[in-house]
Amino acid sequence: MPITPELYNAQIDNEDIQVDAWADTPLLQSLEEGGVDWPSSCRNGTCRTCVGRLKSGSVHYEIEWPGLSAEDKEAGCILPCVAYPDGNVVLMRGEY
Ligand code: FES
């Protein structure tokens, strides 16, 4: 029997937006499926077009080194096209 992935929610800070965010789905895809207009281009973690910041929650990546520096990560930057939620998350648009 297939295991159903965990379902979390993703909110956009300062916007009245909340979407379903499945644990096995990149956040960008969940945002788009929820009707959120979020910038994207490469969708593979290199171009940084989709960059945002985490206000709360955490994510993980399945690629070795998404296009983020250690400083970016410390500042809470994430690349939603390749980021998977570990729980409920609150996102902010843009870089720091
Ligand atoms: S769309 Fe290019 S890094 Fe996310």
Query: What pLDDT, in 10s, does the model give residues 4-53?
Result: 889 999 999 989 899 999 999 999 999 999 999 999 999 999 999 999 99
**Do the domain assignments include residue 52?**
yes
**Do the domain assignments include residue 2?**
no
Q: Which residue range forms the structural domain that includes residue 65?
A: 7-93
Does ligand 1 have an atom closer than 6 angstroms to the CB of 49?
yes
Q: What does the alpha-carbon distance between residue 95 and residue 92 come to, in Å, rounded to a whole number? A: 8
Residue 1 C-alpha to ligand 1 middle, in angstroms? 34
Total domain count, the chain: 1
**What is the CATH number for 76?**
3.10.20.30
**Do the domain assignments include residue 1?**
no
pLDDT in tens, 52-87: 999 999 999 998 877 899 899 999 999 999 999 999
The pLDDT score that the predictor gives to residue 66 is 79
Does ligand 1 have an atom closer than 6 angstroms to the CB of 81?
yes
**Do the domain assignments include residue 49?**
yes
**Residue 9's closest CA among 95, 92, 86?**
86
**Do the domain assignments include residue 63?**
yes
The pLDDT score that the predictor gives to residue 23 is 97
